[in-house]
A and B are shown apart, each in its own frame.
Chain A
């Protein structure tokens, strides 16, 4: 049983902790203002340093889509269900971009703020969480670009667009779960940071961003859906552009289960490593 921070009236006990620990809601609530301040800092820094800060958020996915539009135009057709390829790819790129950025920044959050970890106390989990949720601002910007492209190609958004916040949340929770694992691992093993870009790259190709999920054979679909980003990107594309690929309840269920498992184990592992973070980082 978790034995931390027992309060007898006003007395706090500091003692070695043992066993499995998940989150301590009252402690997190006490530190909610720091969570907001960390997010505000990330946003302020990102958009202050340069105008490139914003341009980068937009240019990266646009460049990627442009390259693939060109390549696939030469190599052969992607079954986009009648959607123009640039729009098809960019619609999925919007949640993907948020996810991959949150994944990288969340995983690096502890190692890049050593002083905070070794010099002040606060629930450490706030750092990857703030880094992940701070990335959601990028979403607003890329979404505007997407809406612009939709107007250009003559697509009007329908009611499914209301599902976007839910899908965004699913993407962020996925990256939070993975970032909890990786940020904690990165404290113990510093080469995790070298694996990150590689992981993000591989993950992109395992996700139907530049191609539709329908190219994966039916019998592999459920296995494929264990990657929650499959459901997120496909559903997001459907929410923006409509078309045949409406999310299947079973795939949605499989992805949700994966997210919950990754998140819970991530929290448990993070809290386990938290005890020695200041000693080891």
Chain B
């Protein structure tokens, strides 16, 4: 046993589907148990075997994940939504137990999966700092010693004795991050906390993370932001469907990730209806990103419309399935969600059969960069998600340099999660305005 801070040996984690989203009612379990003898009798009577395996869908969030991280190393963990990054962090933080395998951690570990966990709106900033500190495993003495530093970093000095329900979102997030930033464990596990706050505070957070890394602490950092990963982490681990598929220098791994996953995913099909996303009522069969010329395309000109299309099978009568897409940018921010509101099929049950639904997003609306699309089919009443494919497809929006898009002639970074081209009007209103001289 030499020189490691974290060693994962064949970590696996299994979820039973359905249990996570939908909770069981004790009532159901009891009625099922009460009915069991009768079902057994009827099985015997009809000659079926008594023992019947309950078919439950299982889902392996992690499969045989192994790696070793040396003390003082800062490692980025990347992968698509649902690749198992958060599950892995939760296991290393001891929030969840692995199903099999084990991990060894040398030294005190602290985790930061969400800032402000346990903050109570009715309590003052001061009270919340102490409470949150205790939740993160800090000693009261430790928090008291660093109190002034925490408050100064968060820039909330005047409001520290005001209930946090009166804080602006920015103040709230700053205070929450500041408490967490004082954690001084030997191993720090961080999940996407930088996706909060305004950009100047984000810079401050990244600066702080950078400091933590240089202090010689071991850091595992999950992020959707490739910029943050390459900036902070010399090494990155890429997870896909619960497996480690790349592990090496961050620049190489992030480049491979962007090439493999996001670049070529304009079209997905599920040829086998049994394994296609969905349930007994509805199954997804394909999802595509289609450019104006009608051809699936992973890159789209920012000025041109783009069509998202899904085909699906309706397998049972009596449902009003509403297809919907959810678009995320590469920071993981949901840009928008869109449902099928076509009056033709609204509030109408769809007969059994195959359908194609498409929606066109106008040009000059999306921001440039990678857009990741979740495809889902839901019913509204009762609200049920019948099929959901996270990161079903992705595409790249390329801005124009011709000066006829929103950026105009500006060559720098354009902020904002959308980039609509809006009509501006300017008129001169006072012709008698005194001119100089």
* Residues of chain A having any CB pair with chain B under 8 Å: 8, 10-17, 31, 33-34, 36-38, 40-41, 44-45, 48-49, 113, 115-122, 185, 188-192, 195, 275-276, 278-280
**Residue interface mask B93-125, A partner, CB < 8 A = 1:** 111111111111111010101100110101100
Known: A191-B25, A279-B19. A14 touches B91 (CB 8 A): yes
Kindly state the separation between the CA atoms of A31 and B139 in the bound complex, as whole angstroms: 9
Q: How far is the CB of A123 from chain B (nearest CB, A)?
A: 10
Q: Does the CB pair A116–B118 fall under 8 Å? A: yes
Known: A14-B105, A34-B135. A190 touches B23 (CB 8 A): yes
Known: A41-B123, A121-B111. A33 touches B134 (CB 8 A): yes
Say whether B51 faces chain A, with CB atoms less than 8 Å apart.
Answer: no
Known: A44-B123, A48-B122, A280-B19. A13 touches B24 (CB 8 A): no
Say whether B56 faces chain A, with CB atoms less than 8 Å apart.
Answer: no
Q: Does the CB pair B20–A119 fall under 8 Å? A: no
Q: How far is the CB of A30 from chain B (nearest CB, A)?
A: 8
Q: Does the CB pair A10–B23 fall under 8 Å? A: no
Interface pairs (16), CB distance under 8 Å: A10-B107, A13-B102, A14-B98, A33-B134, A40-B131, A45-B120, A116-B118, A116-B135, A188-B26, A189-B24, A189-B25, A191-B27, A195-B26, A275-B97, A279-B20, A280-B23
Which residues of B354-412 are within 8 A (CB) of A?
Answer: none
* Residues of chain B having any CB pair with chain A under 8 Å: 1, 15, 19-20, 23-27, 29, 90-107, 109, 111, 113-114, 117-118, 120, 122-123, 127, 130-131, 134-137, 139-140
Q: How far is the CB of A6 from chain B (nearest CB, A)?
A: 10
Q: Does the CB pair B117–A115 fall under 8 Å? A: yes
Q: Does the CB pair B102–A120 fall under 8 Å? A: no
Partner of A17, one of B26, B97, B135: B97
Kindly state the separation between the CA atoms of A12 and B93 in the bound complex, as whole angstroms: 11
Q: Does the CB pair A278–B106 fall under 8 Å? A: no
Known: A14-B105, A189-B29, A191-B26. A122 touches B98 (CB 8 A): no
* Residue among B95, B98, B99, B109 with most chain A CB within 10 A: B95
Q: Which residues of B contact A275 (CB under 8 A)?
A: 97
Kindly state the separation between the CA atoms of A8 and B104 in the bound complex, as whole angstroms: 10
Kindly state the separation between the CA atoms of A275 and B101 in the bound complex, as whole angstroms: 15
Q: Does the CB pair B135–A14 fall under 8 Å? A: no
Q: Does the CB pair B120–A11 fall under 8 Å? A: no
Q: How far is the CB of B93 from chain A (nearest CB, A)?
A: 5
Q: How far is the CB of B17 from chain A (nearest CB, A)?
A: 11
Nearest residue in A to B114 (C-beta to C-beta)? A119
Partner of B104, one of A11, A49, A121: A11
Q: Which residues of A contact B100 (CB under 8 A)?
A: 16
Q: How far is the CB of A190 from chain B (nearest CB, A)?
A: 4
* Residue among B96, B100, B103, B123 with most chain A CB within 10 A: B96
Q: Does the CB pair B135–A45 fall under 8 Å? A: no
Q: Does the CB pair A16–B117 fall under 8 Å? A: no
Known: A13-B102, A44-B127, A191-B27. A279 touches B96 (CB 8 A): yes
